[in-house]
Amino acid sequence: MSGPAEHKGYAESRRLFARASRVTPGGIYGHTSPVVAVPGDFPYYAARGEGGRYWDADGNEFIDFMCAYGPMVLGHHHPEVEAAAEKQRRAGDCFNHPTEAMVELAERLVALVEIADWAVFGKNGADMTTWAGQVAREFTGRKKILKVRQGYHGSHAWCSPGHGGIIAEDRAHIHSFAWNDLDEFRDLVRRHRGQVAALIASPYHHPTFGDSALPAPGFWAGVQETCRHEGIVLIGDDVRAGFRLHLGGSHRHFGFEPDLVCFSKALGNGHAISATLGRAELKVAASRVFLTGSFWHSAVAMRAALATLAVLERDDGIGQMRQTGEKLRAGLQARAQRHGLEVVCSGPPALPFMRFAGDTDWRRQRTFCADIARRGVFFHPHHNWFVCTAHTDADLATTFDAADAAFAAVKALG
């Protein structure tokens, strides 16, 4: 494991961004947009990856604590995942029919996730969260979907964090309540009694520009009890946290039982795939909600998913990531303290987040992330981070050295 190399600057990232801006609205859009990270002083383009590290377009090397915003749960180029993908690729990927891989993956997930009797597949988280809501509407004959305020369930109109191009009808039956606020949730249910098809929520709350918030004691039990009592379908959106907290779904980690659960990101270790799993009683309704996409039955990503699950299970990947995340948190807190800086750590260890107390304009946070990036460690300033199984103790040691210097830079801000 090498230490941080000489920082090469971001000139090539900026050159590519200038080219991109001519032919793409905003240059880079969506979750990887540099405009919402550290504009001007951060990598914009990636060139290659290996394990828990990646290199940007300028040749800068980073310990990768975003893991592509989640997917790379075993790190880039995991040999067993890529061997399984390559074997399937030699047979073929995209056909007139599904392949045996789809049957095997459905069987595997149904065995792994206790509540599940069946599974379907897409390519993206929102393919599944949107469809799950439709299944709930079909099953209940009701229209309303309750969600957590600032809960992210993808870029579709009913839940997009954006407003451009959205019309009132898109969200006419979407109602939000504050995370962990059981009273507000029950109040919404009361106000719309008999009209609520579903509650959709991630297993814990991970807003951008804010701390991650674990479920308060009794929150999930209360939600679940109300849903059962009122005939509301409980949809777990495990797209972001899935396969980092519990191999049987993050709801197991937090002790609740959804009726439908959506996965994506980590499922295929970077191969594009998503899944919804559901209870037996929802199977007929599910079969009545049209679901398809040109590449959604493709086999390579399914073989990659089977291999990813096998490696995570065999190597106790969940345990590894928890330990790495715990060490990361403790190490960052200790270094911050040395510099007399108060940091707020949140989220489960495998999906950690850290910010500076009282840093209301996010200036300290951006300074820290820009500085530590120059020293070879990539943290996002206001999106939760991701640990993968490829992160080593040596990576952590390098990270802590870099953090020491980056905390000094923050301290120097005054």
> What residues between 263 and 282 interact with a copy of itself by CB under 8 A?
264-265, 270-272
Beta-carbon contacts of residue 340 (< 8 Å; ≥ 6 apart): 411
Considering the complex, state which of residue 23 and residue 414 has its C-beta at the smaller distance from a copy of itself: 23
Q: Where are the beta strands (DSSP E) in 330-389?
A: 343-346, 353-356, 377-378
Instruction: Compose the 296-335 pattern: x for residues touching a copy of itself by CB under 8 A, - for all others.
Output: xxx-------------------------------------
The position carrying tokens 């850290």 is 354
Instruction: Compose the 161-190 pattern: x for residues touching a copy of itself by CB under 8 A, - for all others.
Output: xx-xxxx-xx-xx-----------------
Instruction: Work out which of 117, 181, 211, 230 binds a copy of itself, going by CB under 8 A.
Output: 117
CB of 138 to a copy of itself, least distance (A): 4
Segment interacting with a copy of itself (CB under 8 A) among 48-56, 206-214, 219-227, 339-347: 48-56
Alpha-carbon distance of 107 to 3, in angstroms, equals 44
Q: Are 269 and 81 in contact (CB under 8 A)?
A: yes
Instruction: Work out which of 8, 14, 143, 186 binds a copy of itself, going by CB under 8 A.
Output: 143
* Under rule CB under 8 A, residue 150 binds a copy of itself: no
Alpha-carbon distance of 330 to 250, in angstroms, equals 23
* Under rule CB under 8 A, residue 7 binds a copy of itself: no
CB of 122 to a copy of itself, least distance (A): 8
* Under rule CB under 8 A, residue 208 binds a copy of itself: no
* Tally of CB atoms within 10 A around 152: 23
Instruction: Compose the 347-386 pattern: x for residues touching a copy of itself by CB under 8 A, - for all others.
Output: -------------------------------x-x------
Q: Are 195 and 181 in contact (CB under 8 A)?
A: no
Instruction: Work out which of 73, 74, 106, 306 binds a copy of itself, going by CB under 8 A.
Output: 106
* Under rule CB under 8 A, residue 207 binds a copy of itself: no
Residues that contact a copy of itself, how many (by CB under 8 A): 108
Instruction: Work out which of 8, 14, 41, 118 binds a copy of itself, going by CB under 8 A.
Output: 118
The position carrying tokens 């050295």 is 401
What strands lie across the sheet with 46-50, from one edge to the other?
46-50, 53-56, 61-64, 377-378
User: Strand 61-64 relative to strand 53-56: parallel, antiparallel, unpaired?
Assistant: antiparallel
Alpha-carbon distance of 254 to 68, in angstroms, equals 25
Q: How many residues does the chain have?
A: 414
CB of 87 to a copy of itself, least distance (A): 11
For residue 378, which of 101, 18, 63, 126 has the smallest C-alpha distance? 63
Q: Which of residues 61-90 bind a copy of itself (CB under 8 A)?
A: 64, 66-72, 76-77, 82, 89
Q: Which of residues 220-239 bind a copy of itself (CB under 8 A)?
A: 239
The CA-CA-CA angle for residues 220, 225, 226, to 5°, reads 100
